[in-house]
């Protein structure tokens, strides 16, 4: 009796899924048996000219615009060179070998291509390409709707306007993503900073992203006609208790979010900066998020640090320092003590002559002196400061130059470095050290 009633109710269409999944899936097997009818319907419905136009505009716009732009750019560049030949030639000084960091000439075709991908025609062509590619996707959904109506007319897909809803959702998502990109471009333009170093502006960027996503969700809900029924209404009525439970459960998460906002707005460091933390963690900033920050060490190992830890640690941004120090500790033999004064004088003079960036005006230490007398050696310190960044190729080259100067002056005065005597117990930390120790 119950089975008969359930079957009758199912036949009347009161049930949505119960007892209908297998039967509806079985209907899709009719695609192969009714393929001739489906193909005939698609051929009568689809205009091949429209489809070819959409495919051509979606995948050939950028290549065609690129060819035209490259052709006219080459002509303009050639005309500019002809005009420049009529002007007097200014003789430029010959660059040394170390000044040739980049090639002097570039392939004109490659140069035109590089310029094209940062030009206005490319962005316009890219927008048109994205619009027409999504139009092809909507066209494909129309074809699927036609096939579904033939396989199972009871689905009544055309009545629900699924094709139109899919099109609205696709273009709404695309418009939201383009709006986010354009908004970020305007913020970078207003702040006169690259995208990786927005600082406080980055916080506004993320807040606007959240607002755009919220508006997108509301638009999608409006497109699919979601209504708030009694169930959702009762759920919202329970929001007071739910908010209290959620607040207690996500207390740590909220604290991390607040710390993420502080890190983003403090501008203590940007992506790409080299930092040193109070626990001697060193590296370059790879990513700054709401909850954590990635620091890539000099051994290429990335450490993920929660943002709340930056509030309790000292941070040194090495990239923002425009001065650096080169300090070297030398272990000299006792027998060479008479040569130390002349060595200190000569090494400072050589550093001043060969390193123009050295700070020798008295505002910073610039010295070489006998620091201490140990049982197995004499400690001599060479300490100099320079108007150079504290990290990077320029710092490494300058440090290398100073060390070579020290070696040359040691050789000039015939000063020998002492070998550590482990039995004498003269090492400060009890560990073996090198002859040249920082």
387 belongs to a structural domain: yes
Return the minimum-mean-pLDDT range out of 45-49, 209-213, 257-261: 257-261
pLDDT of residue 248: 53
247/286: higher pLDDT: 286
Q: Are residues 340 and 418 in the same domain?
A: yes
What tokens were used for 174? 């695309």
* pLDDT digit string, tens, across residues 314-368: 888 888 888 899 999 999 999 999 999 999 999 999 999 999 999 999 899 999 9
Q: Which of 319, 337, 359 is the last residue of a domain?
A: 319
Q: Are residues 373 and 428 in the same domain?
A: yes
200 belongs to a structural domain: yes
Cα-Cα-Cα-Cα torsion 211, 213, 219, 225, nearest 10 degrees, comes to: -120
29 belongs to a structural domain: no
Q: Are residues 279 and 331 in the same domain?
A: no
Please say if the pLDDT value at position 95 is more than 50: no
Sign, Cα dihedral of 56, 61, 67, 71: positive
Q: Are residues 332 and 425 in the same domain?
A: yes
Q: b/e string for 24-49 if b means 16 or more Cβ within 10 A?
A: eeeeeeeeeeeeeebeebeeeeeeee
* pLDDT digit string, tens, across residues 182-218: 888 887 877 777 776 666 677 777 788 888 888 888 8
Rounded distance, CA 64 to CA 121, Å? 11
41 belongs to a structural domain: no
Q: Which of 222, 244, 270 is the last residue of a domain?
A: 222
Percent of the chain with pLDDT over 90: 16
Query: What's the number of domains the chain is made of?
Result: 3
Q: Are residues 340 and 379 in the same domain?
A: yes
292: domain CATH number? 2.30.30.60
Rounded distance, CA 50 to CA 33, Å? 29
pLDDT of residue 1: 42
194 belongs to a structural domain: yes
pLDDT of residue 387: 92
261/358: higher pLDDT: 358
Count the Cβ atoms, other than its own, within 10 Å of residue 363: 8
pTM of the model: 0.49
* pLDDT digit string, tens, across residues 216-246: 888 888 887 754 455 444 444 444 555 555 5
102 belongs to a structural domain: no
Q: Which of 319, 340, 372 is the last residue of a domain?
A: 319
420 belongs to a structural domain: yes
Q: Are residues 344 and 295 in the same domain?
A: no
Is residue 284 helix, strand or coil? strand
What tokens were used for 343? 């060595």
Confidence of residue 166 (pLDDT cuts 50, 70, 90): confident
260 belongs to a structural domain: yes
Angle between helices 35-45 and 120-151 (to 10 degrees): 140
3-state secondary structure 110-156: HHHHHHHCCCHHHHHHHHHHHHHHHHHHHHHHHHHHHHHHHHCHHHC
Please say if the pLDDT value at position 25 is more than 60: yes
Rounded distance, CA 92 to CA 99, Å? 14
In the block, residue with structure tokens 């000099």: 298
What tokens were used for 244? 């209290």
What are phi and psi for residue 367, nearest 5 degrees? -155, 160
Q: Are residues 188 and 67 in the same domain?
A: yes
Confidence of residue 423 (pLDDT cuts 50, 70, 90): very low
Confidence of residue 157 (pLDDT cuts 50, 70, 90): low
Strand partners, 315: 277
In 3D space, the residue among 258, 305, 262, 257 whose CA is nearest the CA of residue 281 turns out to be: 305
Rounded distance, CA 191 to CA 186, Å? 8
Please say if the pLDDT value at position 153 is more than 80: no
228/273: higher pLDDT: 273
Q: Are residues 52 and 169 in the same domain?
A: yes
392: domain CATH number? 3.30.70.100
**Angle, CA of 50, 55 and 57, to the nearest 5°:** 95
Please say if the pLDDT value at position 271 is more than 90: no
Q: Are residues 340 and 427 in the same domain?
A: yes
367/77: higher pLDDT: 367
Q: Are residues 187 and 325 in the same domain?
A: no
Q: Are residues 314 and 357 in the same domain?
A: no
Domain membership of residue 356 as a residue range = 321-437
Q: Are residues 304 and 326 in the same domain?
A: no
Cα 199 to the center of its chain, rounded Å: 14
pLDDT of residue 28: 60
Strand partners, 417: 332
């Amino acid at each position: 009796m119950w089975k008969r009633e359930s079957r009758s109710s199912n036949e009347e269409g009161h049930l949505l899924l119960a007892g209908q999944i297998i039967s509806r899936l079985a209907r899709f097997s009719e695609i192969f048996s009714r393929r001739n009818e489906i193909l005939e319907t698609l051929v009568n419905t689809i205009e091949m000219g429209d489809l070819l136009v959409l495919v051509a505009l979606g995948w050939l716009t950028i290549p065609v615009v690129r060819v035209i732009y490259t052709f006219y750019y080459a002509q303009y560049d050639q005309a500019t060179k002809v005009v420049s030949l009529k002007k007097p030639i200014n003789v430029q000084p010959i660059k040394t070998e170390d000044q040739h960091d980049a090639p002097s000439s570039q392939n004109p075709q490659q140069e035109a291509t590089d310029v094209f991908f940062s030009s206005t025609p490319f962005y316009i062509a890219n927008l048109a390409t994205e619009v027409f590619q999504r139009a092809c996707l909507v066209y494909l959904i129309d074809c699927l709707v036609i096939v579904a109506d033939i396989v199972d007319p009871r689905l009544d897909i055309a009545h629900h306007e699924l094709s139109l809803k899919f099109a609205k959702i696709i273009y709404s998502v695309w418009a939201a993503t383009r709006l986010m990109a354009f908004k970020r471009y305007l913020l970078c333009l207003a702040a006169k900073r690259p995208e990786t170093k927005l600082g406080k502006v980055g916080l506004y960027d993320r807040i606007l992203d959240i607002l755009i996503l919220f508006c997108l969700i509301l638009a999608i809900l409006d497109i699919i006609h979601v209504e708030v029924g009694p169930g959702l209404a009762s759920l919202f009525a329970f929001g007071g208790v739910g908010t209290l439970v959620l607040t207690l459960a996500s207390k740590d998460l909220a604290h991390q979010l607040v710390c993420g906002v502080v890190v983003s707005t403090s501008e203590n460091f940007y992506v790409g900066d080299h930092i040193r933390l109070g626990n001697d963690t060193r590296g370059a900033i790879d990513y700054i998020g709401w909850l954590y920050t990635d620091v890539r060490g000099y051994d290429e190992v990335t450490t993920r640090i929660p943002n709340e830890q930056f509030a309790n640690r000292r941070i040194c941004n090495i990239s923002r320092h425009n001065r650096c120090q080169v300090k070297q500790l030398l272990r000299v033999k006792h027998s060479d003590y008479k040569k130390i004064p002349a060595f200190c004088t000569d090494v400072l003079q050589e550093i001043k002559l060969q390193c123009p960036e050295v700070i020798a005006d008295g505002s910073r230490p610039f010295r070489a002196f006998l620091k201490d007398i140990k049982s197995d050696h004499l400690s001599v310190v060479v300490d100099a400061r320079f108007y150079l960044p504290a990290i990077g190729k320029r710092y490494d080259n300058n440090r290398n130059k100073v060390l070579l100067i020290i070696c040359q002056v040691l050789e000039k005065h015939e000063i020998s470095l002492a070998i550590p005597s482990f039995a004498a117990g003269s090492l400060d930390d009890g560990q073996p050290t090198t002859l040249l120790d920082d």
